[in-house]
Structure 1
Amino acid sequence: MEKTPGSKFCFVLLLLLVLPDCARETPCVGGRGDPYYDFTISFHEQQWCKVQGQVDGEKFLLYDCGSNKVISMNLLREEGKAMDSCEKGLGTLSDLGNEIKHLSTDIKQEKYPDGAPLPLQVRMTCMCKADGRTSGSLEFSLGGERLLTFDSETEKYRADNSEGERLKKKWENDTNLNNFFLKTLKGDCKGLYQCSLHWKKELETTAASTTAIATVPSKAAMNMPIAWWICPVILTWITIVGFLGCRCDKEGPGGVD
């Protein structure tokens, strides 16, 4: 079909709106949308490790460190494509799960009144900043009581009680362990962040497709050059995306919960 002046005009505006950095295809901003992954180590079940991923308060991933298998992935569309996009992130979960198992031997295994050992819990939060860098934190708890936290920005531990102080003194002198934590939070975390973004896009796309109302263009619109009646729709959508991307980029990342 021959290009009309309208189609050329629409194409130029489309490029102008897509090219700015604030409208990147994959925005890298922090805040409430930062994903976190909860590791649970059950000592009385041969140190069985389970990871639950959440973003915006919604659970989207359940992973078994022991078998390196996804138990469930709360995606409403094609799960196979989601698995492909999250493959790198799942490797990070496996590596961190194995490291936590080794660290669990350093932690005093307190027990419930009935004699069952308290579970070790580790929350990893991943943040992706506007400049593309990643950071995050690791929060260690025993039976729901926080022991200490490692923050990649300060590269320091913060203890919450006497057991946390004991672990802090031991772990902060372990160069290999600290380098592993930094590599995970400042590098590997990006794959986990992208995995959560993929899930959010799939969820939003599915929600939009189920609520959209099919409309038929009027006869007059059908007789118009196609670029003129579809161009406003495309430009409106891209303008909204560009505005939101710019606004998030200016606001900067939020803090870790």
Structure 2
Amino acid sequence: MDLYPKEKEREGEKEYQRVSISGEEKCGVPFTDLLDAAKCVVKALFIREKYIGLSMQSFCRTTASYLEELSDRPLDMGIYEEIPETSVTADLDQTVHPPVSTTHPYENQDPACMPPDIGYGCKMVNGVVHIYTNKDTMEKSTELELPYPDLQDYINDMNVMMALIINGPVKSFCYRRLQYLSSKFQMHILLNEMKELAAQKKVPHRDFYNIRKVDTHIHAASCMNQKHLLRFIKRAMKKYPGEIVHVERGKGQTLMEVFQTMNLTAFDLSVDTLDMHAVSGGG
């Protein structure tokens, strides 16, 4: 009888070696400093979750579940009582001299390629840009209901984050925690490297979206073979000949123009013409 998918997954997990760390944690810092640092990190995670939600992005489910458990417990954040509140009006009175740009940001853009005007308008209200569906009559009824934080709340959250940055115990706690996680991951690699490599090799195909080796540099030989690259170039030449793929001396060249400079056509391309070789080493 065949196993269920979950049981199969558990069977695969049993093949990996696990490391368990037990005993009282010895972090090298006083427990009170450790407790304060942990509270500060939790506060920073709450702020991150808040702004991730306002920007309509996804937040880590595991972290969100733990924060949900902590949301009912008020944190004693005495470390922030000494932070003076920054007045919004005080910042507005200061003179700001932004750098002057000598070029237009869209001077190299073709107007035909830009999206059409949909008639929206924007207006700055108390330091926040409000978007309206009608640029002629910017009334409250035409404003888009987009979530955004209050300016004073944003400044207060910024002050909290700045206090965390200069907090010594917090920096030490985060550094030691990252070192611990890095060492734990390296131990996992030493124990299970061959098994993970074998599992990756079971993937039936290889392309740019399925690279076995992830490093500071990417070997093209680890992405696709010569035939894959040849088919990719021919398909691009057939579907997107007018797309700019090379810029030299401020002038863009389309894919068709690049082929013309080499006196080649898509029909002339072959595996021998590409003359692609895999280079070993870290260069």
TM class by shorter chain equals under 0.3
* TM norm structure 2: 0.22
Higher relative contact order (CA 8 A, sep 6+): 1
Larger of the two Rg values belongs to structure: 2
Structure holding more strand per residue? 1
